[in-house]
Structure 1
Amino acid sequence: MKSILDYETVALVDERDAIVIIDQTLLPGETKLIDLKTGEEIWNAIYLLQVRGAPAIGVCAGFGIYLLMKHSKAQTEEEFLEELNKNADYLNSSRPTAVNLSWALERMKKKVKDFIDDEKKSGRSFDLSAAIKVMHDESETIKAEDIDVCRRIGENGLTLVKKGDGILTHCNAGQLATCKYGTATAPIYLGHEKGYNFHVYCDETRPLLQGARLTAYELHSAGIDTTVICDNMSASIMKTGKVQAIFVGCDRVAANGDAANKIGTSVVATVAKHYGIPFYVCAPTSTIDMNTATGDDIVIEQRKPEEVTEMWYEKRMAPEGVKVYNPAFDVTDNSLITGIVTEYGVLRAPYDKSIKEMFDKYKK
């Protein structure tokens, strides 16, 4: 019998002109694979959180922009690039906070532009089929890199904990948010493979319950000792001494180390600081935005009030007409972060310096 971990989070089925995803809005009650073929379907899947998690969104965006350009009828490179930019702008408007969305689209655009420039330098005329093949290959490379990056994050994160530790996590930065391993869960999965016998506490993560519906579901499916707690129970469990480390993912890290993640993350970080528990942000370098100076510059998505008042209830659970504040993310100040776990190693404060040094060394 298949578990949730046996399904690919995001897959390109080229012969059907489709991206196949798990509809995560139905989990854990129903595992349903859906095809995304049109721009509107891809946009809606990202906005409605059918596909979610910064790395998975980036992979979906790469496949998406390729599919939207696959049957282009452009006659010239100018027409092709104009169409490419229009489609990329459309997909990029689906969610503002996760930097991997714009990162993947910009990467795809740059790959095409570099290809066209090289062709011009060689005296060759515009080759539509060759440009489309470049996009296909680059989108598959983005996915392969995601799997490799997550495993390396897991290996680096595993050096920060020991056998038998209790680990707390918030939201879902697991396999369902990536193509394999996850980011915040990567050390947990690799430790499980090595017999570390972790006990994991999953914040339910209101209002969309990604921790209860997704993280707990996939970790439990993997045979990992998992306990779900309400968000407001995290301080209580930390005080007992049962938590030795906290791993969370992120949707965008500013150049100074401030990190935007699912709403409630900064609460966990603040309480962890009080109890002296190390708080680690697991971040692929694609999630670090050197063009965003601090967390104050990160655009926070505001979502529909119905997610809070009625989404998970048979009957509405708040008075009609009451005001609702529903930001999708908050920003954890860098002073609360013990380390940022990347595929290149664990960064430490001062983050403006360590992040810049890492980019200078590895990302030229």
Structure 2
Amino acid sequence: MNPMTSLALRYDGRRLLILDQTRLPREEAWVDGGDPDAMVGHIRRLAVRGAPLIGVAAALALAVFAESGADESSLRQAAASLRAARPTAVNLMWAMDRMAERIPLGAPALAAEAEAIFREDVALCEAMARHGVSLLGAGEAVLTHCNSGALATVGVGTALGVILRAWEAGKVRHVYVDETRPLLQGARLTAWELARAGVPHTLLTDSMAAILLRDGRIDRVLVGADRVAANGDFANKVGTYGLAVQCRFHGVPFHPVAPWSTVDLACPAGAGIPIEMRDAAEVRGQGGRAWAADDTPAFNPSFDVTPAALVTSLVTDRGVATAADLQAGILARLG
């Protein structure tokens, strides 16, 4: 394979390294990602996260494993393990299904497919950004939830990619960042990306967004998506649904941004999207600091599902689907 580099991933032709996102923003540590079993662990503990990045990273891990001399049986077992690492993010399954088709053709075919998936993601991000920027007026203040930038893809990002390109075009003046409980991907990752890009931003807890929406300080909300059902319902980091409800009440446009690989036409509606439940300990504390007793029961879904009825428009690399488009079943026709 040719060398491939992004903000969160490095492949130099021999070794695949992954930026451990659990250590950001205090430490930029790179870990080996060339072993599929290790990659499964990285994905499950969110060292690698973001639906597009997970798919690319898993594809590259499988290709590196093939180049090490793994036989067909071992490759199929590795592909199955990687595919099951996170049940909600459909990009992972999409990428592994593409790779699995190439397993009988050998390591060169797997390497070529993994590289194609990488290059496609870069192009998809730019296409989403182009379509999304067209929705914004001049000098808007926007809010985003979780992380959907270059740490979640191998390109400029999905929702955060739109925001960054809009900033460059003078269409964004300020970004409000939900810290995103319980793992703080907004605080740790999105704020870090915005600071690196020199974009003015303000961090807030998830429960503060409604005040800004009420006071007219936010012009638009853009979020990512981990799976989009055929009717436009979509799963994203938990807290997105509540934000969409608040936007509807306050009349603020709300846009999920996702590549077409995130659209699951086999899933008719959001009720069919599997939701990953994570360790309750994540709710009780973080980083060695506890704010609840160890035996406190906790509810910890990683994602929630936002109904299409709350979506102003869905931005994809294939274009923008309005609320009316979603109601008319445009996603099924685009597929």
Q: TM-score scaled by structure 1? A: 0.87
Larger radius of gyration: 1
What residue identity is the alignment partner of 1:88?
A
Quick check: 1:330 aligned with 2:304?
yes
CA contact (8 A) 1:191 1:198 kept: no
What residue identity is the alignment partner of 2:55?
G
Q: CA deviation at 1:73?
A: 5.6
What residue identity is the alignment partner of 1:229?
L
- Alpha-carbon distance in 2 for matches of 1:292, 1:27: 34
Report the CA distance shift for 1:253/1:197 in structure 2 as closer, same or farther (over 3 A).
closer
Q: CA deviation at 1:84?
A: 3.0
Q: CA deviation at 1:261?
A: 0.2
Structure 2 match to 1:13: 12
CA contact (8 A) 1:197 1:225 kept: no
Q: CA deviation at 1:7?
A: 5.8
CA contact (8 A) 2:6 2:154 kept: no
What residue identity is the alignment partner of 1:97?
T
- Alpha-carbon distance in 1 for matches of 2:23, 2:122: 24
What residue identity is the alignment partner of 1:99?
V
Structure 2 match to 1:102: 93
- Alpha-carbon distance in 1 for matches of 2:116, 2:206: 37
SS in 1 for 2:305: strand
Range with bigger deviation, 61-70 or 326-335: 61-70
Quick check: 1:25 aligned with 2:16?
no
- Alpha-carbon distance in 1 for matches of 2:288, 2:243: 26
What residue identity is the alignment partner of 1:24?
Q
Structure 2 match to 1:356: 332
Give the alignment partner of residue 65 of structure 2, picking from 64, 68, 88.
68
Q: CA deviation at 1:112?
A: 4.2
Quick check: 1:140 aligned with 2:115?
yes
What residue identity is the alignment partner of 2:12?
V
Give the alignment partner of residue 279 of structure 2, picking from 304, 311, 315.
304
- Alpha-carbon distance in 2 for matches of 1:269, 1:167: 14
Question: What percent of counterpart residues are identical?
Answer: 39
Quick check: 1:247 aligned with 2:222?
yes
Deviations 1:173-195 (A, max 9, x none): 01110112110011211122223
SS in 1 for 2:154: coil
CA contact (8 A) 2:33 2:39 kept: yes
Give the alignment partner of residue 258 of structure 1, picking from 227, 233, 241.
233
What residue identity is the alignment partner of 1:95?
R
CA contact (8 A) 1:248 1:282 kept: yes
SS in 2 for 1:185: helix
| Residues 134-283 of structure 1: pairs in structure 2 closer than 5 A | 134-283=109-258
Structure 1 match to 2:56: 59
CA RMSD after TM alignment = 1.6
Structure 2 match to 1:284: 259
- Alpha-carbon distance in 1 for matches of 2:36, 2:127: 33
Structure 2 match to 1:120: none
Structure 2 match to 1:41: 38
- Alpha-carbon distance in 1 for matches of 2:13, 2:121: 19
- Alpha-carbon distance in 1 for matches of 2:158, 2:129: 7
What residue identity is the alignment partner of 2:321?
L
Give the alignment partner of residue 317 of structure 1, picking from 291, 294, 299.
291
CA contact (8 A) 2:34 2:62 kept: no
Structure 2 match to 1:347: 321
- Alpha-carbon distance in 1 for matches of 2:77, 2:41: 17
CA contact (8 A) 2:54 2:92 kept: yes
Unmatched runs of 5 consecutive residues or more in structure 1: 1-5, 75-79, 117-130, 360-364
Unmatched runs of 5 consecutive residues or more in structure 2: none
- Alpha-carbon distance in 2 for matches of 1:73, 1:192: 46
Structure 2 match to 1:3: none
Q: CA deviation at 1:38?
A: 1.9
Q: CA deviation at 1:94?
A: 1.4
Corresponding residue pairs, total: 329
CA contact (8 A) 2:141 2:172 kept: no
Q: CA deviation at 1:311?
A: 1.5
- Alpha-carbon distance in 2 for matches of 1:97, 1:269: 20
- Alpha-carbon distance in 1 for matches of 2:305, 2:136: 25
CA contact (8 A) 1:97 1:251 kept: yes
- Alpha-carbon distance in 2 for matches of 1:71, 1:196: 47
CA contact (8 A) 2:178 2:203 kept: yes
SS in 2 for 1:107: helix
Deviations 1:318-348 (A, max 9, x none): 1231211100000001100111100111012
